[in-house]
Structure 1
């Protein structure tokens, strides 16, 4: 039915034109912003997801800065450890020279002292932004490692940062000190006796290690006629059990640092025993010890049913106020001015080289770990940005083609509206 009051054709044409104009506006906005979802009004769910992922990408950029800082700190520490290894290698050459009889040991000792001072200087200066990984003498828990923010972990309760722990590896030359009184002292915390059974293990698994806690090994050999070994050299204590005062002056002692395990402590004590044995002419056949896990493997080829050697592990709590020494503390009294000292120094320098090379290798391994994590984070960030783009970015080729089609539709809709608006005019002809 035709009417001059209501023009349904025009109304429909106008609605069509308005819809096309709205689509053109949306398409032009996509082209202008480059985004298909630019606000929560476009698609609330997709917009929320994209914003969460964008926040994670920003977080990973900050993590990259943290990893770069950690990598630089490790690089300085690694180079410091490598330099110390080179200095110890030079020192070993001098120690070997001191083994001869017709050499000037005083001059060799002077050169060794200079190298020792240089090692101390390297340890003091090998820091980056205030962090020195070659020093670890603090007694507070956690001071034995540095935390580097490595990655983000999203769970049900939100996002948490996950740290990568970098262990400090002390290469200082300072000596430890053990209090002669006070604190919680425990003699014979663990013991083992070599007799007819010539191979035993001293088990230290039940002992809790804490920073600042002192440990010592005491020897008590029984061979009254010295038929199997020299009883005096195999006795480091006056009685069967070591006193705290004797522990304070013991040559086979160690003060634990933060991060030490039972194996770390026993390894350090075994090294100090090797030095003690070299100075006192105790060969490996008489008594040798090797750290294995949380135990100390003891062997002897001379003990029997009547001639025995008891090895005891003694402890003194951190509450005694002990002082932690450096990882290369055995350098402090390295002295090749005598033949006995030269022999002792040769045994020590090997274990010190092992400590330094292990530290350098450990820093290198940690540095590779951070670099691997950084590379993974970069790839992860790229993937997340690509995912965000898939969700919210506009396909400009598609949008451009759609805009051209909508512009054609707009022209047609405009013509249709014009035709629809002219329809009532044709009704006037009926009244002429």
Structure 2
């Protein structure tokens, strides 16, 4: 039946053209934005996952910055500690040289004094971003240092921040408030020779004039220093050197862990980017092919609608 009130063919052609236009709009949007899932209406599930993972990736980017800062702090402390170890080794060598008969021990002591001043200078200089793990001039002890190491999301959706910890109290070389808290200022008790027997004695390398002083005798010599006392000082310096080496080894291990974690976070961030891309990125080859097809369909739809609308004009010819 032909009707001039209801053109079924035109309505069908118009519906088809609308569908083609909608698909064409989505395809053009995907090509212009580069995303096949750009908003929640495109695919709510994928959009939600992508949005959450992008947010987590931003947090991981911040973690990378924090790890860079942590690496700089540990590098600074390790560099200072390693330099201090070399200086203490030099002090031990000077003391061994002073044990040789005929050596002017007063002159050797002048060298020792300068080396000890250099130790204090190195400790004070090993500071980064306002933090110094080798020198403490506060009444409070240097505690455990926390450095942001990772950001994780649990299976239940909860998030947490993990830290890399280092007990900086074990790396402090000089403490100006409590000498017993510094590796170079604390007294070290040794068993030194005393004639044909032995006796205990306590020595420390640096006197920081702290409020709480260390027990024992400062490592310094003169022409009056006995061979037994000199050997005791060598033992004390060697013990201090071992403690410093242990602290440097621990600090180096922490630094290595930070580097490994930093590399892992970078790799994880790249993997998340790839995963999000697989969910929401548009395949430009596919979209361009679809665009050509839809443009052709659109042209055909317009022609079909034109033909359907012309049917009403053909009916008028019957009444002429």
Partner of 1:420: 308
- CA contact 1:84–1:122 (8 Å) conserved in 2: yes
- Name the counterpart of 1:126: 126
CA-CA distance at 1:23 after TM superposition: 0.8
Map of 2:59 onto structure 1:
59
Higher helix share: 2
Does the aligned pair in 2 maintain the 1:138–1:144 contact within 8 Å? Answer: no
After superposition, residues 110-189 of structure 1 pair within 5 angstroms as 110-135=110-135, 143-155=142-154, 156=156, 158-168=158-168, 169-172=171-174, 176=178
CA distance in 2, matches of 1:361, 1:136: 21
Query: In the aligned structure 1, how far is the partner of 2:102 from the partner of 2:284?
Result: 88
Pair 411,176 (structure 1): closer, same or farther in 2 beyond 3 Å: closer
Give the whole-Å Cα distance in 2 for the aligned partners of 1:107 and 1:421.
114
Q: Distance in 2 between matches of 1:61 and 1:164?
A: 17
Q: Structure 1 residues 53 and 283 mapped into 2: Cα distance closer, same or farther (>3 Å)? A: farther
Aligned to 1:273: 189
- State which of 221, 237, 240 in structure 2 corresponds to 1:336: 221
Find the aligned partners of 1:38 and 1:323 in 2 and give their Cα distance: 66
Q: 1:324 to 1:46 in 2, by over 3 A?
A: farther
Shift of 1:429: 4.0
CA contact (8 A) 2:175 2:181 kept: no
Aligned pair count?
A: 303
Any runs of at least 4 consecutive aligned residues in structure 1 with deviations exceeding 6 A, and if so which? 281-284
Q: Is the 8 Å Cα contact of residues 80 and 126 (structure 2) preserved in structure 1?
A: yes
- 2:48 aligns with 48
Q: Give me the whole-angstrom Cα distance separating, in 2, the residues matched to 1:283 and 1:171.
A: 33
* Structure 1 position 411 matched with structure 2 position 299: yes
How far apart, CA to CA, are the structure 1 residues paired with 2:178 and 2:37? 66
- Structure 2 portions without partners, runs of 5+: 201-210
User: Structure 1's 324 and 414: CA in aligned 2 closer, same or farther, altered over 3 A?
Assistant: farther
Aligned 8 A contact 2:151 2:160 in 1: yes
TM-score calculated relative to the size of structure 2: 0.85
Task: Sort the Cα spacing of 1:157 and 1:407 in 2 relative to 1 into closer, same or farther, 3 A.
Answer: closer
CA shift for structure 1 position 140: 5.2
Distance 1:324 1:393, change over 3 A: farther
Residue 428 of structure 1 and its aligned partner are, at CA, apart by: 3.3
Question: Structure 2: how far apart are the matches of 1:111 and 1:140?
Answer: 33
Structure 1 pair 136–279 and aligned structure 2 pair: CA distance change class (3 A): farther
Structure 1 residue 280 displacement after superposition: 4.8
> Considering only aligned residues, what root-mean-square deviation do their CA atoms show, in Å?
2.9
Going from structure 1 to structure 2, the CA distance change for 1:15 and 1:71 (only over 3 Å counts) comes to same
TM-score, normalised by the number of residues in structure 1: 0.64
Q: Residues 283 and 365 of structure 1: is their aligned pair in 2 closer, same or farther, counting only changes over 3 Å? A: farther
